[in-house]
Amino acid sequence: MFAFIALASLLISASSVLASPTPSIPSNCSVASAKPDLPSGQTNITVPSGQVPETIALGVGVQNYTCTDAGTYTTAGAVATLFDISCIHDTSQYPTITKVAYDIWNAIPNNDIANIVETFVEKAFPVFADHYFITSPSGTGISPVFDARSTSHKGDPNAFVLAARAGDLAAPTGSQDIDWLQLSNVQGDLAKTVLRIDTQRGQPPPSCTPGSELISVKYTAAYWFLS
Ligand X SMILES: *[C@@H]1O[C@H](CO)[C@@H](O)[C@H](O)[C@H]1NC(C)=O
Binding interface with ligand X (CB under 6 A)? 26, 28, 44, 62, 64, 76-77, 79, 111, 133, 168-170, 216
Q: How far is the CB of 86 from ligand X (least distance, A)?
A: 10
Q: How far is the CB of 13 from ligand X (least distance, A)?
A: 27
Is 85:128 a contact under the CB 8 Å cutoff?
Answer: no
Residue among 8 and 119 whose Cβ is closer to ligand X? 119
Gap between the Cα atoms of 40 and 197, Å rounded = 14
What residues have CB less than 8 Å from 113, skipping those under 6 apart? Answer: 60, 61, 62, 79, 80, 81
- Orientation angle between helical segments 97-107 and 3-12, nearest 10 degrees: 10
Residue among 11 and 29 whose Cβ is closer to ligand X? 29
Residue among 43 and 49 whose Cβ is closer to ligand X? 43
Q: How far is the CB of 51 from ligand X (least distance, A)?
A: 20
Q: How far is the CB of 80 from ligand X (least distance, A)?
A: 10
Q: How far is the CB of 12 from ligand X (least distance, A)?
A: 25
Report phi then psi at 145, rounded to 5. -125, 140
Is 177:203 a contact under the CB 8 Å cutoff?
Answer: yes
Residue among 76 and 116 whose Cβ is closer to ligand X? 76
Q: How far is the CB of 49 from ligand X (least distance, A)?
A: 19
How many alpha carbons lie under 13 Å from residue 225 in its C-beta half-sphere?
28
Residue among 104 and 145 whose Cβ is closer to ligand X? 145
Could you tell me which of 78, 125, 65 has the C-alpha nearest to residue 101? 125
Residue among 8 and 118 whose Cβ is closer to ligand X? 118
